């Protein structure tokens, strides 16, 4: 199985770890908890200037001061009201590892 790691996102063989998700630390999401994921284009209306937290109380982004320069992000559907948002440094590598463990959203 593949793994992925950058300064803020890590995919291990069993879970996804989002560093600086909370003010005090990381969020760990076991792959079975992720129901699906969506890849999206980062834009002004979709998290471009949100370097941490939420603008709508529905989507929560881990701390990433490089997000305004990034082009691709992912919504992680975990079956809860809040949807984690992640913008990995290498979205294609991240998606490949995530796809080994989780199905993309059916409407993709």
Tens-digit pLDDT profile for residues 44-95:
877 888 899 998 889 999 999 999 999 999 999 999 999 999 999 999 999 9
pTM: 0.90
Q: Are 34 and 1 in contact (CB under 8 A)?
A: no
Task: State the chain's mean pLDDT as an integer.
Answer: 91
107 has pLDDT over 80: no
Where residue 16 falls among pLDDT bands split at 50, 70, 90? very high
pLDDT of residue 105: 66
Strand 72-77 relative to strand 83-86: parallel, antiparallel, unpaired?
A: antiparallel
């Amino acid at each position: 199985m593949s793994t992925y790691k950058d300064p803020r996102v890590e995919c291990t063989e069993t879970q996804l770890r989002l560093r600086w998700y909370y003010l005090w630390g990381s969020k760990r999401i076991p792959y079975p908890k992720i129901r699906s994921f969506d890849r999206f284009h980062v834009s002004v209306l979709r998290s471009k200037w949100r370097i941490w937290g939420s603008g709508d109380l529905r989507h929560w982004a881990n701390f990433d001061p490089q997000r305004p320069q990034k082009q691709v992000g992912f919504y992680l559907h975990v079956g809860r009201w809040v949807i984690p948002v992640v913008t990995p440094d290498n979205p294609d590598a991240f998606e490949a590892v995530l796809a080994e463990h989780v199905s993309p959203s059916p409407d993709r």
